[in-house]
Each structure stands twice: as structure tokens, then as C-alpha cells.
């Protein structure tokens, strides 16, 4: 499978490219006060406001640097509709700001060096792969936002309004 | 004093990104004399880690003023609902006429091959049968069906310009295999075209209506026209075409 790689504090991470809609430059965002600081704000993506998560901040102690190689990866994934255990899913979009978004790499299942951890403190940490001598950790896009925050940012009402 | 001016001019301004110290791809790579031994491994400089590293350096700088703001404006615009409106078509040439078929009706484009005449059945629109992947398919003449003059052996002989000769020699002629699924199952036809210009995605808005005054018989089979490069392309209605083929071949 294809991985879109990026760096946070010198370490390589990746997200699975099947979730990626588009890769954009580091566009200015409108701040969202009182939210966790890794949610740097929202911006108007094709006529729809979407939240932006700073992956550098989510994965380390600092924010993404202002560089041309820092980009916003627009991803799309399904969240349960209505309540948490709902069997029905709705597609939502979110921007992920990440440093060194330069290349993609192909990985096979056999490259997995360590399976997904399922940790409560960092549920977004996926499996670790070894590729071309590099250790890359896959970030699980669906689990980057805590459930309650995701529910607030991706309300059904917001979806109805913007359709 | 005067000697210092040229060297000052060499100093890159703040806006220009610093070029990597060694732009080897311009010297010994694909943009140079191709003498780099790494080319044997990577084939093209874009696959080489040296260029990847240079790209990394290039992007490791602050965005120019106004660059990100201009992106904000671009991204605010909703995407044109183009996906729903786009049609894929295959553009090809029959005789001197450029025509197109919906990609959905196309099975394959293949090289021209021997047509086997069918005794007592060949003539008119039916040219014979051809072997397509081990299956015998009816080969028809799009020229006859659409009333477009055949590029005959005489024309080939009288090709006066070298370009025309090259056109024939280059073997641009292809067979198109087209299909439509009817009640009785899939129905395939094969016909020869002079040239195939590839698949194109066009928006519905690019199509215009066929003028009702056009009397050419090929216009009977077209449902729209499209301006493409310097030519006008007729978009063939495959159902009308298939119906006509059935009638004419069965009537022989």
C-alpha cells in the first residue's frame, strides 16, 4: 500500500494514502479558541470549513515550522453517524498539517516491524514499518481527534448545512 | 569598482531559492551529457536520491510573500462539479474526418490485421471476419457506413508529400473493437480507423449541437460536435451506429 510520509521532530511518520484527498500548501487558518492546541484552526476548503490538525504538535512538543515543505494534507474518513456505536458512517474531511511532506512510498504487509499499539493515551499510533532503512510509524487518521471533539467538529448539522 | 558589479549580480536575491551546491542533473544527468554512472541504476534523475535531497533543500524555505494567501483564494472556490459532467471519449480519424466514441462502448484498440472475407456475405459494409483474441468478430467498414471516402490504394500511391507517405508507413491505422450489450447478449463489431488520438475527458459544456443543415451522412450518426485542437470532432451515437450496422450487415 502507498504511504504518504512526513516528519515530526526528526522522526518519520506516514498516513495511508487511500485517505488522502489532496495535498495543499500550508494555508492560513482561522484559530479555534479553547480547543486542544494541536487543532490549529479551520479553513475554507472548496466552500466548506474543515478543521486542521497540526501533526507535528500532536506527535511532539512543537508546532509545524513555516516552510514550503510543510503542507496540509486533506484527508477523508468515515465517522459514525449520530451516536458513537452507530453502524452508519458519514464521510468527513480534515486537514493535517505536517512537515516534510515530500514523497510517497510503497509498503507491503511484510514490511511491518511492529503492530498497531492500541494505546489509550495515543490511540492514533499505528503499526511501524521498516522501509529503505527508515523506521516509519503509520498514523491512524480516524483516531487523531478524541471522539467528543470529533463529534463537535463534524456534527451532522454542519454536514447538512454545507451539502 | 567596476569589476565588482558582475559579481554582485551573481548574488541571488532573497526571493530566489538557493540552488543546491551541485546541480549534477544539469551537468551529467538527463539535462546534461548523461554521463552519470548512477543513470544505469536509476534510469532518470527524478528517481535518484541526490535529486530527492536537492528537492528537500529546495522546499526547506519560507514561502514567498503572498503565496499562501493566493492559495486561500483558490481553495475557497468550490470545485466545479466536473466529475458528473465529464465524459471519456476516444478520438479517432476515419478518412479525413475526426470522430469520437464514448469510452464505455470501446473494448479495445488493436493493430490492423488480416480480414478474412466471408464468401457471398462480404460486400457493402461487411468487410469480413477478423481474429480478436481468438474470437472471430465481424469487421465492418466505418467508411462505407458513414459515407466517408475510403483511403484507397490509389490514394496511397498518389501520396505526393513525404509526410503523407510517412503517415501510411508509420502504420497509424488501428482496429477499434466496440461493444454494446443488448437483450441477446453483448454485440461486438470491429472497424478500421486511420489514426487514434487517444482518450480524452470532455465536459458536456464543450459539446455543441450538430447543425441541422449538415447533409453529410456521417452527421446522421453524430449527436454532438466538439472542437478539438484545430479539428471538429463528431461524437458518434453508438446506438444509432450499431442499429445501422445490424440492418446493413443482415441485409447483405
**pLDDT of residue B121 exceeding 90:** no
Task: Chain A: give the shortest CA distance to residue B11, in Å.
Answer: 22
Task: For residue B56, give the DSSP letter.
Answer: H
Does the structure show a pLDDT above 60 at A114? yes
Contact B61 A25 (CB under 8 A): no
Which residues of A fall within a CB distance of 8 Å from B48? none
Residue B80 has pLDDT above 70, yes or no: no
Query: Residue A64 pLDDT more than 50?
Result: yes
Sequence-ordered list of residues with C-beta below 8 angstroms from that of B27, at least 6 positions apart, any chain: B33
Phi-psi category of A30—alpha, beta or left, where left has phi over 0 and alpha has psi -120 to 50?
beta
Question: Is the Cβ of A47 closer than 8 Å to some Cβ of chain B?
Answer: yes
Domain boundaries, chain B: 13-76, 85-251
CB contact under 8 A, B59 and A66: no
A125 pLDDT more than 90: yes
Find the residue in B nearest to A74 (Cα): B75
Strand bridging mode B195-203 / A71-80: unpaired
Percent of chain A predicted with pLDDT > 70: 93
User: Which is higher by pLDDT, A77 or A103?
Assistant: A77
pLDDT at A53: 97
Question: Pairing state of beta strands B97-102 and B231-236?
Answer: parallel
Determine how many CB atoms are found less than 10 A away from the CB of residue B162: 9
Q: Report how far residue B222's alpha carbon sits from residue B239's, in angstroms, rounded to the nearest whole number.
A: 10
Calculate mean pLDDT across residues A37-66.
94
State which H helix or E strand residue A89 sits in. Answer: strand A89-98
Mean pLDDT (chain A) is 89
The mean pLDDT of B82-96, rounded to a whole number, is 82
| Cα(B179)–Cα(B167) distance, integer angstroms | 28
Which residues of chain A make contact with B75, given a CB cutoff of 8 A?
A: 24, 27, 43-46
What is the predicted ipTM? 0.76
Chain B residues close to A48, C-beta within 8 Å? 78
Q: Measured between alpha carbons, how far is A110 from B190 in angstroms, rounded to an integer?
A: 46
Higher per-residue pLDDT: A102 or A82: A102
Q: Cα distance from B17 to chain A (closest Cα, Å)?
A: 11
Please write down the HEC assignment for all residues of B62-75. CCCCCHHHHHHHHH
H-state helical runs in chain B: 4-10, 24-27, 39-42, 49-59, 67-76, 82-85, 142-146, 153-157, 162-169, 238-251
Contact criterion met (CB below 8 Å) for B235 and B224: yes
Q: What is the pLDDT of residue B231?
A: 86
Of residues B219 and B110, more confidence is placed in B110
User: Is the pLDDT at B167 greater than 60, yes or no?
Assistant: no
Tell me the pairing of strands A11-16 and A2-8. antiparallel
For the segment A52-74, the average pLDDT, to the nearest whole number, is 94
Angstrom distance (rounded) from CA A109 to CA A107:
7
What's residue B236's pLDDT? 92
Question: What are the C-alpha distances in Å from B157 to residues B46, B152, B162, B168?
Answer: 46, 9, 12, 10
For the ranges A144-158, B99-113, B148-162, B203-217, the lowest mean pLDDT is seen at B148-162
- Pick from A28, A48, A100: CB nearest B68: A28
Are B52 and A102 an interchain contact pair (Cβ–Cβ within 8 Å)? yes
Nearest CA in chain A to B54: A102
Residue B239 and residue B245: Cα distance in Å, rounded? 10
For residue A78, the model assigns a pLDDT of: 87
**Residue B107: pLDDT above 60?**
yes
Q: Which residue of B has its CA nearest to A102?
A: B56
Q: Model confidence at A158, in pLDDT bands (50, 70, 90)?
A: low
CA distance B89 to chain A (A): 25
Model pLDDT, residue A60:
93
Query: What distance in Å separates residue A151's CA from the closest CA in chain B?
Result: 24
Helix (H) or strand (E) holding B148: none
Contact A47, A94 (CB under 8 A): no
Q: Which residue has the higher pLDDT, B179 or B80?
A: B179
Is A47 in Cβ contact with B76 (below 8 Å)?
yes
**Cβ contact A68–B63 (<8 Å):** yes
Of A44, A46, A102, the CB nearest to B56: A102
Contacts of B158 (CB under 8 A, 6+ apart): none
| Domains detected in chain A | 2-132 (2.40.50.180)
Is 90 exceeded by the pLDDT of residue A38?
Answer: yes
Q: If you search the block for the grid coordinates 485517505, which residue do you land on? A: A19
3-state secondary structure of B91: strand
Residue B109, all three cell numbers: 484498440
**At B114, is the secondary structure helix, strand, or coil?**
coil
How is A135-148 classified by DSSP, letter by letter? EEEEE-GGGSS-HH
Q: How far apart are CA B146 and CA B143, in angstroms?
A: 5
Say how far apart CA B134 and CA A153 lie, in whole Å.
58
pLDDT class of B228 with cuts at 50, 70, 90: confident
The larger pLDDT score, comparing residue B207 to residue A24, is at A24
Q: Is the pLDDT at B164 greater than 80, yes or no?
A: no
Label residue B11 by pLDDT band (50, 70, 90).
very low
Residue B21: pLDDT over 70 = no
What is the C-alpha to C-alpha distance for residues A117 and A133, in angstroms, rounded to an integer? 22
Instruction: Give A45's contacts in chain B (Cβ within 8 Å).
Output: 75
- Per the listing, cell 470532455 goes with B202
The SS3 of residue B26 is helix
Could you give the dihedral angle defined by the CA atoms of residues B58, B59, B62 and B67, in that order, rounded to the nearest 10 degrees? 110
Residue A104 to residue A3: CA distance in whole angstroms:
5
What is the Cα–Cα distance from B171 to B162, expressed in whole angstroms?
14
Cβ–Cβ < 8 Å for A8, A23 = no
Residue whose cell numbers read 510573500:
B65
pLDDT for res B159: 47
Q: How far apart are CA A162 and CA A47, in angstroms?
A: 8
Percent residues over pLDDT 70 in chain B: 78
pLDDT recorded at residue A128:
94
Given a contact cutoff of 8 angstroms between Cβ atoms, the answer to whether A129 and A3 are in contact is yes
Among chain B, residues having any CB pair with chain A shorter than 8 Å are 52, 55-56, 58-63, 67-69, 71-72, 75-79
Whether the Cβ atoms of residue A19 and residue A141 lie closer than 8 Å to each other: yes
Give A72→chain B minimum CA distance, Å.
11
- Right CATH number for B85-251 from 2.40.50.180, 3.40.1380.10, 3.20.20.10, 3.50.50.60? 2.40.50.180
Amino acid at each position: 500500500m502507498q504511504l504518504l510520509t512526513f516528519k515530526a521532530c526528526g522522526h518519520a511518520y506516514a498516513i495511508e494514502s487511500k485517505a488522502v484527498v489532496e495535498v495543499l500548501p500550508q494555508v492560513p487558518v482561522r484559530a479555534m479558541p479553547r480547543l486542544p492546541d494541536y487543532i490549529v484552526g479551520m479553513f475554507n476548503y472548496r466552500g466548506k470549513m474543515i478543521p486542521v490538525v497540526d501533526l507535528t504538535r500532536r506527535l511532539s512538543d512543537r508546532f509545524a515550522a513555516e516552510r514550503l515543505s510543510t503542507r496540509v494534507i486533506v484527508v477523508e474518513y468515515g465517522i459514525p453517524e449520530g451516536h458513537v456505536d452507530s453502524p452508519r458512517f458519514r464521510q468527513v474531511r480534515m486537514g493535517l498539517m505536517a512537515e516534510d511532506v515530500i514523497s510517497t512510498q510503497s509498503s507491503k504487509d511484510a514490511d511491518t516491524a511492529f503492530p498497531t499499539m492500541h494505546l489509550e493515551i495515543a490511540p492514533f499510533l499505528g503499526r511501524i514499518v521498516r522501509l529503505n532503512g527508515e523506521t516509519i510509524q503509520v498514523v491512524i487518521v480516524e483516531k487523531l481527534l478524541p471522539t467528543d471533539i470529533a463529534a463537535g467538529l463534524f456534527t451532522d448539522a454542519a454536514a447538512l448545512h454545507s451539502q | 569598482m567596476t569589476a565588482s558589479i558582475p559579481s554582485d549580480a551573481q548574488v541571488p536575491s532573497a526571493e530566489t531559492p538557493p540552488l543546491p551546491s551541485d546541480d549534477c542533473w544539469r551537468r551529467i544527468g538527463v539535462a546534461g551529457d548523461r554521463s552519470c554512472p548512477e543513470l544505469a541504476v536509476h534510469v532518470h534523475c527524478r528517481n535518484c536520491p541526490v535529486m530527492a535531497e536537492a528537492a528537500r533543500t529546495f522546499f526547506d524555505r519560507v514561502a514567498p510573500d503572498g503565496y499562501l494567501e493566493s492559495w486561500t483564494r483558490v481553495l475557497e472556490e468550490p470545485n466545479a462539479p466536473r466529475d458528473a459532467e465529464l465524459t471519456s471519449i476516444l478520438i479517432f480519424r476515419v478518412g479525413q474526418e475526426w470522430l469520437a466514441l464514448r469510452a464505455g462502448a470501446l473494448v479495445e484498440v488493436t493493430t490492423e490485421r488480416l480480414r478474412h472475407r466471408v464468401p457471398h456475405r462480404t460486400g457493402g459494409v461487411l468487410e469480413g471476419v477478423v481474429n480478436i483474441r481468438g474470437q472471430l468478430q465481424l469487421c465492418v467498414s466505418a467508411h462505407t457506413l458513414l459515407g466517408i471516402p475510403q483511403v484507397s490504394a490509389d490514394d496511397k500511391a498518389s501520396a505526393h508529400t513525404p509526410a503523407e507517405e510517412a503517415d501510411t508507413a508509420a502504420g497509424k491505422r488501428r482496429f477499434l473493437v466496440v461493444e454494446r450489450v443488448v437483450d441477446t447478449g453483448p454485440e461486438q463489431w470491429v472497424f478500421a480507423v486511420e489514426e487514434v488520438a487517444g482518450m480524452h475527458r470532455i465536459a458536456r459544456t464543450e459539446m455543441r449541437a450538430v447543425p441541422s443543415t449538415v447533409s453529410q451522412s456521417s452527421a446522421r450518426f453524430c449527436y454532438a460536435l466538439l472542437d478539438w485542437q484545430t479539428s471538429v470532432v463528431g461524437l458518434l451515437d453508438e446506438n444509432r451506429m450499431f442499429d445501422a450496422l445490424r440492418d446493413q450487415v443482415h441485409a447483405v
